Amino acid sequence: MKILVCISHVPDTTSKINFTEGDVKFDINGVQFVINPNDEFGLTRAMWFKEKQGATVDIINVGGPETEPTLRKALAIGADSAIRINMTPTDSFQVAKELSGAVKDGDYDLVIAGRESIDYNGGMVPGMLATILGANFVTNCIGLEIEGDKATAIREIDGGKETLTAALPLVIAGQKGLVEESDLKIPNMRGIMQARKKPLKVVEPSQSETRTEAVKFEKPAPKGEVKMIDPDNLDELIDLLHNEAKAI
C-alpha cells in the first residue's frame, strides 16, 4: 500500500502574528513554524500502517524552500521520502490541483490530509483534492483501518460518530482522534540523522489557476479593560451587562 501524507508548514500557536504591506501580507519574522497538528495525527497513523502492514509512506508539501525543515522533521519521524511543490500556497483550489498531479504520478492508494490547517482554517483542500481525483473521501476522520483494498473509517458528525466503509483509492481529512496525542512521535537522533539522507524531491508547479486572493488581514480587537464590580452589588452588575456590554 502506498500512502501520501500532506504536510502543511504552519506557525506555532504561541507565535505573535503580524502583517505587513498594509495588512495584505503575513509577516514571518520571528515566527516559529511546525507541522500542522491535524497533519501530524495523519502522519502518525500512516506510520502505524508502515509498521504493521509494510506500507510505504511519502510526504508532500506545497511551499518554498523555507518549508524543508518541517519536511525533514516528518522524514525523521519515519516517512520514506518527501516531495515539495515549489510555490507559495495562496489558494485552496490551486493547492489541491497541484497535489492531484503528484498523487496521479505516484499512483497512491491512500492520501491523508489534515481536516484543516491552523493558519487559515480553510478546510477545503482535502475535499477538492478528492473531487479532482475522483476518489472516495472521508472528512472529520477519527479512526481508520485498511484491509486489502477496503477501508473502514470513523468520522465525527453532529452529536456522535459514523462508521463507514470505502474502497481505495481514498482521501481522508484527519483530525485529533485519528491517533491519541500520546502516540505522536518525537524524532530521535537516529531518525534525524537518517532524514538527512532520505530523498526530498522538488517539483515545479504546473501553474494551475488561482481563484481567490487575500485582500486584507485584520487582527482581532485587543481585549478591553476589566471593570471590577463588588460581589454584593448585583444591581450594578446587571445594569452594566444590560446597558453597557449588551450581553443580556
State the Cα–Cα distance between residues 190 and 172, nearest whole angstrom. Answer: 30
Sequence-ordered alpha helix ranges (H) in 161-239: 189-195, 234-239
**Listed residue (101, 77, 75) closest to 87, CA to CA:** 101
**Is residue 89 in some structural domain?**
yes
Tell me the residue type at 206.
S
Tell me the residue type at 112.
I
Tell me the residue type at 141.
C
State the Cα–Cα distance between residues 62 and 198, nearest whole angstrom. Answer: 18
- Total-model pTM: 0.87
Tell me the CATH number at 77: 3.40.50.620
- Asked whether the beta carbons of 96 and 128 are under 8 A apart, the reply is yes
**Is residue 245 in some structural domain?**
no
Tell me the per-residue pLDDT of 26-80, one tens digit each, with 9 for 90 and over. 888 889 999 999 999 999 999 999 999 999 999 999 999 999 999 999 999 999 9
**Is residue 187 in some structural domain?**
yes
**Is residue 44 in some structural domain?**
yes
Cell of 198: 532520505
**123: part of which helix (H) or strand (E)?**
none
Residues of the domain holding 183: 2-218
Tell me the per-residue pLDDT of 191-226, one tens digit each, with 9 for 90 and over. 999 999 999 999 999 977 888 888 889 888 888 788
**Is residue 244 in some structural domain?**
no
Q: How many domains does the chain contain in total?
A: 1
Contacts 24+ apart (CB under 8 A), 11-20: 11/118, 11/119, 13/118, 17/219, 18/219, 19/217, 19/219
Is residue 182 helix, strand or coil?
A: helix
**Is residue 144 in some structural domain?**
yes
Is residue 164 helix, strand or coil?
A: strand
**Is residue 229 in some structural domain?**
no
**Is residue 149 in some structural domain?**
yes
Name the one residue in this structure whose C-alpha cell is 516528518. 74
Tell me the per-residue pLDDT of 78-118, one tens digit each, with 9 for 90 and over. 999 999 999 998 899 999 999 999 999 999 999 999 999 99
State the Cα–Cα distance between residues 124 and 139, nearest whole angstrom. Answer: 10
